[in-house]
Amino acid sequence: MALDTSIEFLKTVGVERAKLIKNTLGIVTVEDLLTFYPIKYVDKSRVFKISELKPQSLEIELQFRGRITEIQELPYGKGKKRLTAKFWDDTGTIELVWFRYSKWLLDQIPLHREVFIFGKVNLFNGVFSMPHPEIETDEKKAVSGTLLPVYSGSEKLTKRGINNKFFQKIIFNLLQNHLDELIQENLPENLLKSLSLMPRAESFLNIHFPKNHALMKEAERRIKFEEAFFFQLGYGLKKQHHKATVVGSPFPLVGHHFNDFYQNHLPFELTNAQKRVLKEIRSDMKKPIQMNRLLQGDVGSGKTMVALLSMLLAMDNGYQSCMMAPTEILAQQHFNGISELLKDTDIEVRLLTGSTKTSQRKEIHETLTSGALPILIGTHAVLEDVVQFKNLGLAIIDEQHRFGVAQRAKLWAKNKIPPHILVMTATPIPRTLAMSFYSDLDVSIIDELPLGRKPIITAHRKDSYRLSVYQFAKEELNKGRQVYFVYPLIEESETLDYRNLIEGMEHITDYFKNYTAVMLHGKMKPDEKEAAMQKFASGKAQIMVATTVIEVGVNVPNASIMVIESAERFGLSQLHQLRGRVGRGSEQSFCILMSSDKLSADSRKRLKTMCETNDGFRISEVDMQLRGPGDILGTQQSGVVDFKKLSLTEDSSIIKTSKYLVELLMKSDPKLEHPAHCQLRDYYQKQYRGKNKWGRIS
């Protein structure tokens, strides 16, 4: 028997059942079966007395020993019948109920004989009852010395005799007869002792058939740690291999371009966080090893300034830089912002997007190839084969989760020696996800806002308060400020939402007659979008009515109010990104979340969280609790959150411990050559190698 043995060769399974199990549950091998962990456990180790029932006993599965004394069919609802029976022990009686049953059940229920019943107890009109109980006449089968596992299944499987007892039996037989040959230890002895982890074989016994809850929890802890540890080990080995084999262009010089800008053109003093991050980037780029760094920072924290200074370092060392953004609006914002910062220097910056005219494209291509153009900012257009650099030394990717792995890798291939990679995101990544799915990157965090910025005040208002919200917006407009009104645009009802935007524009222009409003949405042509944004940015328009197209890429420091319509229809991350469009100047800014009166529990929690904090990292944690890690990671990571037991939302301490231990291991034995690590290396190579290639650029 081996772990890769097909389950069709197991007794009672066979070819047809194996095929059905594979198609329904994805179980193919013995290993799949052993890691098909229970979804819950049934405790039949104790027999209760009816007199022990209390209101707090409700919805708990309990077992009783007694006799069924009478059975009768009673009508309920329209033309329906239910089957009821009285169950008695020497301390009291409860009612047994079947709402769905076949006539044969009447003959199967043993009357006036000692039986064991098992199920959840309900209380209705002062009477305890047990709907659809399990009934067993054999005490050996009824009373178990272990917690009994309950496995997920389906009606389709049950009809073919593949039910919970079927899985209990075949898994029990495997563990009883083949445990030692199937399950070998894969963690070093010192690790097991230092963390008080259950041995691997023991953990399989106790995850499937634990004698008590304490042993089940210990088995679960061992399995969770193993999943986290080998996941981290994969990233640790990848990172180690990357640093040992992937060369990069060293940038030893801090020259004229950097120093001149830093001393003479910096519009404000860098925050301590920006200085720290810049130091980390400089340290990376000095080495002849490719930098592979993730730069996290909340909305408005000054990531673009750090990116620009990094590009100036590349320029001082004779290299070109490229910044790639996922949308034209965001690329345009970066271009406008960086061009403004460099306007008093002789440094040229160009923008390349799908909308760039042919004549301009040709000029950009020529200056890139000759090396005359030091900085290029663009969208996917920079990935085209015709775009060739003379000497690309730094590639900056903004909001990288919006790009596919192949797209990011194509940018890397633009130079013979791989460019240094700086990945930026304004969507804070929950700590456990950053520790897990970004472990192969070095991480820098800008956790400080520029001086003079005031925290945005966020309030939730029901639609019935609309007039007072409009009045408040008018007061801000009278002070010379500007206002955003944002409407949802969801694909499933795009036409409806588009109409809502138009109607919203009509209401707003009608109410704010003395002010100019512009509209911005995804259906507009690029030049129309640009014209609307310029009109708002210049102050010629005081109100912008938009969809989520402004989530990133709009930077108007004078805008002090954002009103988000139907805020309950947005995710937390998106609400936070939208809110980041205000609060960019020195004046107090406000974000008002409008919603209907009826809200789901999740919607209430989202809006409450937004009102309580401006911390994007705290918001990202709540977002992950509500949506799950799969949604946070997005389609680029679909299918990778397939831990059987480990929870990215609940097991942060296990993930943190495993990451720390892997980092120590990589420092002391990066190739896993020590005799104590042989089983670790062998197991990893057999089970995991090649499976977690979910890295960022590399």
- For residue range 360-404, list pLDDT tens digits in order: 999 999 999 999 999 999 999 999 999 999 999 999 998 765 555
Confidence band of 689 (pLDDT split at 50, 70, 90): low
Structural contact between residues 197 and 221, judged by C-beta atoms closer than 8 angstroms = yes
The single residue listed with the structure tokens 């262009």 is: 249
φ and ψ at residue 115, rounded to 5 degrees = -135, 165
pLDDT score at 366: 96
| Structural tokens at position 345 | 């220097």
Confidence band of 666 (pLDDT split at 50, 70, 90): very high
Q: Which residues contact 126 (CB under 8 A, 6 or more apart)?
A: none
pLDDT score at 690: 54
- Separation between Cα atoms, residue 104 and residue 111, nearest integer Å: 14
Q: What residue type is assigned to position 284 of the chain?
A: D
Confidence band of 432 (pLDDT split at 50, 70, 90): confident
What is the overall mean pLDDT for the chain? Answer: 88
Closest to 201 measured CA to CA, from 184, 176, 218, 216: 184
Confidence band of 691 (pLDDT split at 50, 70, 90): low
Structural contact between residues 395 and 420, judged by C-beta atoms closer than 8 angstroms = yes
Q: Which residues contact 390 (CB under 8 A, 6 or more apart)?
A: 320, 368, 369, 370, 371
The secondary structure of 276-303 as a DSSP string is: HHHHHHHHHHTSSB--EEEEEE-TTS-H
Query: Taking 60 as the threshold, does the pLDDT of residue 213 lie above it?
Result: yes
Query: Taking 90 as the threshold, does the pLDDT of residue 496 lie above it?
Result: no
Query: Taking 90 as the threshold, does the pLDDT of residue 459 lie above it?
Result: yes
| Structural tokens at position 689 | 């190698």
- Separation between Cα atoms, residue 396 and residue 423, nearest integer Å: 6
Confidence band of 441 (pLDDT split at 50, 70, 90): confident
- Chain Cα centroid distance, residue 535: 37
Q: Which residues contact 596 (CB under 8 A, 6 or more apart)?
A: 462, 463, 566, 568
Using DSSP's 3-state secondary structure scheme, residue 97 falls into: strand
Using DSSP's 3-state secondary structure scheme, residue 485 falls into: strand
Q: Count H helices, E strands: the chain? A: 25, 22
Using DSSP's 3-state secondary structure scheme, residue 94 falls into: strand
| Structural tokens at position 234 | 């994969």
Q: What residue type is assigned to position 38 of the chain?
A: P
What angle do the packed helices 678-687 and 213-245 form, to 10 degrees? 80
Query: Taking 70 as the threshold, does the pLDDT of residue 491 lie above it?
Result: no
Closest to 581 measured CA to CA, from 533, 647, 530, 511: 533
pLDDT score at 10: 94
Structural contact between residues 342 and 349, judged by C-beta atoms closer than 8 angstroms = yes
| Structure confidence by residue, pLDDT tens digits, 152-164 | 988 889 888 899 9
Query: Taking 50 as the threshold, does the pLDDT of residue 490 lie above it?
Result: no
Query: Taking 70 as the threshold, does the pLDDT of residue 553 lie above it?
Result: no
Query: Taking 80 as the threshold, does the pLDDT of residue 299 lie above it?
Result: no
H/E stretch holding 562: strand 559-564
| Structure confidence by residue, pLDDT tens digits, 256-277 | 999 999 999 998 899 999 999 9
Domain ranges, ordered by start, for the chain: 46-143, 256-285+302-425, 457-613
Q: Which residues contact 300 (CB under 8 A, 6 or more apart)?
A: 449, 450, 453, 580, 583, 584
Using DSSP's 3-state secondary structure scheme, residue 74 falls into: strand
In this chain, the answer to whether the domains covering 46-143 and 256-285+302-425 adopt an identical fold is: no
| Structure confidence by residue, pLDDT tens digits, 101-149 | 777 777 778 888 999 999 999 888 888 999 999 888 887 777 777 788 9
| Structural tokens at position 455 | 């925290």
Structural contact between residues 395 and 421, judged by C-beta atoms closer than 8 angstroms = yes
φ and ψ at residue 651, rounded to 5 degrees = -115, 40
Mark residue 143 as left, alpha or beta (left: phi above 0; alpha: psi -120 to 50; beta: remaining). beta
Using DSSP's 3-state secondary structure scheme, residue 508 falls into: helix
Query: Taking 50 as the threshold, does the pLDDT of residue 693 lie above it?
Result: no
| Structural tokens at position 72 | 């009768």
- Separation between Cα atoms, residue 637 and residue 641, nearest integer Å: 8
Confidence band of 697 (pLDDT split at 50, 70, 90): very low
Which segments of 183-271 does DSSP mark as H helices, in order? 189-194, 200-208, 213-245, 256-264
Closest to 146 measured CA to CA, from 208, 189, 230: 208
In 333-472, DSSP assigns E strands to: 349-352, 375-378, 392-398, 420-425, 442-446, 457-462
Structural contact between residues 209 and 172, judged by C-beta atoms closer than 8 angstroms = yes
pLDDT score at 695: 39
Structural contact between residues 544 and 524, judged by C-beta atoms closer than 8 angstroms = no
pLDDT score at 635: 42
Query: Taking 50 as the threshold, does the pLDDT of residue 639 lie above it?
Result: no
| Structure confidence by residue, pLDDT tens digits, 17-59 | 999 999 999 999 999 999 999 999 988 888 999 999 888 777 7
Structural contact between residues 291 and 285, judged by C-beta atoms closer than 8 angstroms = yes
Q: What average pLDDT score do residues 672-695 get?
A: 78
Query: Taking 90 as the threshold, does the pLDDT of residue 627 lie above it?
Result: no
Q: What average pLDDT score do residues 596-621 get?
A: 91
Rounded CA Rg of the chain: 32
Return the CATH architecture of domain 256-285+302-425.
3-Layer(aba) Sandwich (3.40)
Q: What's the fold here for domain 457-613?
A: Rossmann fold (3.40.50)
Largest Cα–Cα separation, the chain: 99
| Structure confidence by residue, pLDDT tens digits, 59-102 | 788 999 999 998 988 888 787 888 899 999 999 999 999 987 77
Q: Which residues contact 17 (CB under 8 A, 6 or more apart)?
A: 8, 160, 161, 162
The single residue listed with the structure tokens 């030394």 is: 393
Neighbouring C-beta atoms of residue 367, cutoff 10 Å: 17
pLDDT score at 297: 85
Structural contact between residues 366 and 390, judged by C-beta atoms closer than 8 angstroms = no
Q: What CATH class has 46-143?
A: mainly beta
What angle do the packed helices 256-264 and 303-316 form, to 10 degrees? 140
pLDDT score at 636: 41
